[in-house]
């Protein structure tokens, strides 16, 4: 029997159990019940039909485990995870094998050679979403590795590995997962993996402390969380951060160099949640929507050239004829026209996550029609025009109605509309305006459907707004509460406010024909809100939840943490944020000014890196 001691708790790895199948008092069913230690099993059947699997002999190679804290179908659909897998396996002398969160009854072993996690001296993790944090903690423990970095032996070896965490979740806010990592990559993998692996090769000749310190002082974008020490004020705000003088006060993110070939799918599987060949059109977004972390942490926005995108498309296997474009809503009309012409000439059909209602070219519309795409999503995000100004979305009612009519005319039978509730200053008048918009949408598209003999169904996806780091709304209270309302040290008012709005919209919209309603659960959004702005004190909570031993509420209580301090407490303009231990180049003063502009109902122009120096990312004018 293997036993790992962590913070005074012993984990019996022969009986470690995830139990997420039952409903608890915090959230409806979250994850499947999974026993992870069925150690003798052949290679998973999902790899039989996978294209792009890399299998290498281990002899004279450095083994690297790559974890994705979700099930295979989700992992193989994540372009960032695919990219890291491909980059690691391209490095001479490295063999990288994947681990995904297993379904019930599946073994917790590497996909490629069915090896246990304890066989790997290096463990990398790619983390994209807050709800995956408990899974990541659980996977480390389930692999018979000490989950917390401070409990791992000084001598690095298989079973006592160096744990490196990266992904957008990490470089948005590294602190929730800080206790689990020896090294955290702040930025994009292309810029850091080779020099990082170059140093990690020497794990047999350096102690853990010496090796991580060398990495932190010599590899840009590498954060060594164990060397930074935080203290907190009574309300949960950061009081001070100390670290060895050799390490930077703030770790600057790294970005990928200009690409000749746009990032694209390197793994394809019929079991993928997104069954398509994906190509990235760029990173970041110029619009500056005040709730969107990607629009700020990827600044300045980089749009790949049409030539680089077409080159990425040319890597597509012959048998894949459906292409998914990531970031289509920010590409220029000229670029989308080039892409559309290529896809049309190559006999490909098109798919994408969502479109900007005010940027749909005629060429794109023609490709949609040719692709026989039946479902399209438009992200309105705010329920009213006032709120769309507040979030800097810049979409009018006329934009949304025009886009809906054009899409339905092009043959769309499923039109989805995404909105958020719980935005700052939101009132029931804003919700009433949304109900009126739905009536106008249906009235506009119904005649088109009747004429062609099939009515378009409208699906409303209504989600609770979650404040994110590095955005102007990082200062907001969860639930749409005012600063005064949020001062009550309880999550009750926020949940009550959101549940009231959900109930109101259900009552107003439930009777409408050809309409589907999808709401997320305020309690589940609360968990995301806690994780998004949490500091490293949340680490033991994540492990407790990941183990299935405690619910979200129980785990927080067990460790003396109030979810209010992370999710609901409004932040001050001069407050030190825990995620400011990393540096995205954005001035805090700029974010606060954008927050004030939002409350004043003022729009901000789109990001213009060539001439704009407002936020600080592009530094002073040359």
- Mean pLDDT over 29-38 rounds to 35
Instruction: Kindly write down the DSSP assignment for every residue of 400-469, as one continuous string.
Output: HHHHHHHHHHTT-SEEEEEEEES-TT--HHHHHHHHHHHHHHHHHHHHHHHHHT-PPEEEEEEEE----T
Task: Quote the pTM value.
Answer: 0.91
Listed residue (434, 435, 458, 437) closest to 446, CA to CA: 458
243 versus 361: the higher-pLDDT residue is 243
Burial class (CB in 10 A: 0-12, 13-18, 19+), 352: buried
The C-alpha angle 414, 419, 425, rounded to 5 degrees, equals 165
Q: Which two tokens stand for residue 587?
A: 């001035």
pLDDT at 212 over 90: yes
Listed residue (484, 475, 481, 514) closest to 500, CA to CA: 481
pLDDT at 370 over 80: no
Question: What is the three-class DSSP state of 587?
Answer: coil
DSSP letter (8 states) at residue 311: H
The C-alpha angle 475, 480, 483, rounded to 5 degrees, equals 55
Q: How far apart are CA 81 and CA 125, in angstroms?
A: 9
Query: Across 299-371, where does the E strand assignment appear?
Result: 302-303, 322-326, 349-352
Q: How far apart are CA 576 and CA 434, in angstroms?
A: 37
- Mean pLDDT over 378-400 rounds to 95
Cβ count near 322 (within 10 Å): 15
Instruction: Kindly write down the DSSP assignment for every residue of 90-156, as one continuous string.
Output: HSTTEEEEEEEPPPTT---S-TTT---GGG-SEEEEE---GGGHHHHHHHHHHTTS-SSGGGS-SS-
Phi–psi pair at 534, nearest 5 degrees: -75, 160
Tell me what pLDDT residue 106 has: 85
Tell me what pLDDT residue 363 has: 66
Q: pLDDT, tens digit, for every residue of 533-554?
A: 999 999 999 999 999 999 999 9
Task: Judge whether 147 and 6 are in contact, CB under 8 Å.
Answer: yes
Strand partners, 232: 238
Task: Judge whether 221 and 145 are in contact, CB under 8 Å.
Answer: no
Tell me what pLDDT residue 493 has: 97
pLDDT at 9 over 90: no
290 versus 39: the higher-pLDDT residue is 290
CA dihedral 367, 370, 373, 374 (to 10 degrees): 120
pLDDT at 33 over 60: no
3-state secondary structure 453-482: CCCCEEEEEEEECCCCCCCHHHHCCCCCCC
Phi–psi pair at 502, nearest 5 degrees: -60, -50
Tell me what pLDDT residue 357 has: 63
Tell me what pLDDT residue 31 has: 35
Query: Across 250-391, where does the E strand assignment appear?
Result: 251-252, 277-280, 282-283, 302-303, 322-326, 349-352, 375-381
DSSP letter (8 states) at residue 181: -
CA distances from 222 to 83, 147, 187, 390 (A): 18, 20, 9, 35
Q: Which two tokens stand for residue 132?
A: 């995956």
The C-alpha angle 524, 528, 532, rounded to 5 degrees, equals 170
Tell me what pLDDT residue 29 has: 31
CA distances from 604 to 52, 222, 414, 597, 601 (A): 43, 33, 33, 8, 10
Tell me what pLDDT residue 620 has: 53
Q: pLDDT, tens digit, for every residue of 458-517?
A: 999 999 999 999 999 999 999 999 999 999 999 999 999 999 999 999 999 998 989 999
Mean pLDDT score across all residues of the chain: 88
Task: Judge whether 393 and 382 are in contact, CB under 8 Å.
Answer: yes
Q: How far apart are CA 105 and CA 237, in angstroms?
A: 42
Residue 358's pLDDT band, with cuts at 50, 70 and 90, is low
Question: What is the three-class DSSP state of 252?
Answer: strand
Task: Judge whether 411 and 372 are in contact, CB under 8 Å.
Answer: yes
> What percent of the chain shows pLDDT beyond 70?
90
DSSP letter (8 states) at residue 519: E
Residue showing tokens 């949960």: 236
Tell me what pLDDT residue 32 has: 36
């Amino acid at each position: 029997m293997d036993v790992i001691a962590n913070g005074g708790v012993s984990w019996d790895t022969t009986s470690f159990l995830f139990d997420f199948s039952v409903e608890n008092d915090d959230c409806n069913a979250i994850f499947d019940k999974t026993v992870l230690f069925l150690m003798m099993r052949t290679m998973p059947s999902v790899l039989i039909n996978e294209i792009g699997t890399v299998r290498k002999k281990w002899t004279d190679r450095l083994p690297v485990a790559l974890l994705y804290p979700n099930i295979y179908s989700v992992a193989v659909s994540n372009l960032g995870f695919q990219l890291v897998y491909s980059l690691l396996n391209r490095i001479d002398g490295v063999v990288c094998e994947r681990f995904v969160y297993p379904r019930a009854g599946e073994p917790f072993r590497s996909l490629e050679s069915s090896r246990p996690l304890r066989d790997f001296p290096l463990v990398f993790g790619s983390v994209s979403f807050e709800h995956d944090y408990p899974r990541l903690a659980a996977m480390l423990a389930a692999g018979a590795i000490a989950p917390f970095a401070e409990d791992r032996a000084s001598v690095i070896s298989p079973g006592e590995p160096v744990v490196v965490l990266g992904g957008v979740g990490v470089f948005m806010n590294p602190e929730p997962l800080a206790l689990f990592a020896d090294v955290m990559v702040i930025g994009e993998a292309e810029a850091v993996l080779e020099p990082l692996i170059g140093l990690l090769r020497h794990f047999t000749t350096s102690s853990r402390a010496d090796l991580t310190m060398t990495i932190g002082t010599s590899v840009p974008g590498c954060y060594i969380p164990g060397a930074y020490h935080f203290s907190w004020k009574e309300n949960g705000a950061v009081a001070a951060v100390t670290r060895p003088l050799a390490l930077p006060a703030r770790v600057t993110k790294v970005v990928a160099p200009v690409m000749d070939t746009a990032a694209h799918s390197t793994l394809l599987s019929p079991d993928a949640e997104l069954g398509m060949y994906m190509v990235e059109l760029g990173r970041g977004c110029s619009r500056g929507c005040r709730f969107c972390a990607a629009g700020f942490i990827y600044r300045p926005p980089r749009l790949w050239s049409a030539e680089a995108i077409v080159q990425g498309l040319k890597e597509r296997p012959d048998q894949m004829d459906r292409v998914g474009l990531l970031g289509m809503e920010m590409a220029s009309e000229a670029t989308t026209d080039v892409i559309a012409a290529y896809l049309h000439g190559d006999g490909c059909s098109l798919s994408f996550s969502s479109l900007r209602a005010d940027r749909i070219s005629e060429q794109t519309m023609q490709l949609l029609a040719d692709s026989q795409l039946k479902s399209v999503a438009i992200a309105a995000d705010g329920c009213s025009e006032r709120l769309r100004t507040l979030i800097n979305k810049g979409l009018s009612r006329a934009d949304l109605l025009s886009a809906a009519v054009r899409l339905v005319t092009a043959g769309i039978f499923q039109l989805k509309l995404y909105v958020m509730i719980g935005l700052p200053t939101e009132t029931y008048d804003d919700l009433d305006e949304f109900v009126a918009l739905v009536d106008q949408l249906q009235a506009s598209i119904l005649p088109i459907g009747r004429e062609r003999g099939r009515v378009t169904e409208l699906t409303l996806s209504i989600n609770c707004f979650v404040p994110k780091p590095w955005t102007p709304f990082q200062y907001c209270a969860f639930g749409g509460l005012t600063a005064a309302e949020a001062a009550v040290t309880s999550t009750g008012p926020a949940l009550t406010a959101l549940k009231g709005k959900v109930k109101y919209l259900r009552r107003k919209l439930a009777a409408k024909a050809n309409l589907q309603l999808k709401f997320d659960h305020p309690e589940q959004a609360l968990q995301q809100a806690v994780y998004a702005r949490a500091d490293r004190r949340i680490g033991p909570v994540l492990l407790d939840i990941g183990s299935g031993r405690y619910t979200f509420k129980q785990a927080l209580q067990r460790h003396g943490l109030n979810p209010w301090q992370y999710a609901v407490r409004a932040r001050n303009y001069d407050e030190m944020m825990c995620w400011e231990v990393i540096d995205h180049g954005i001035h805090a003063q700029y974010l606060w000014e954008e927050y004030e502009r939002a409350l004043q109902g003022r729009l901000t122009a789109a990001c213009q890196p060539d001439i704009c120096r407002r936020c600080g990312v592009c530094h002073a004018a040359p």
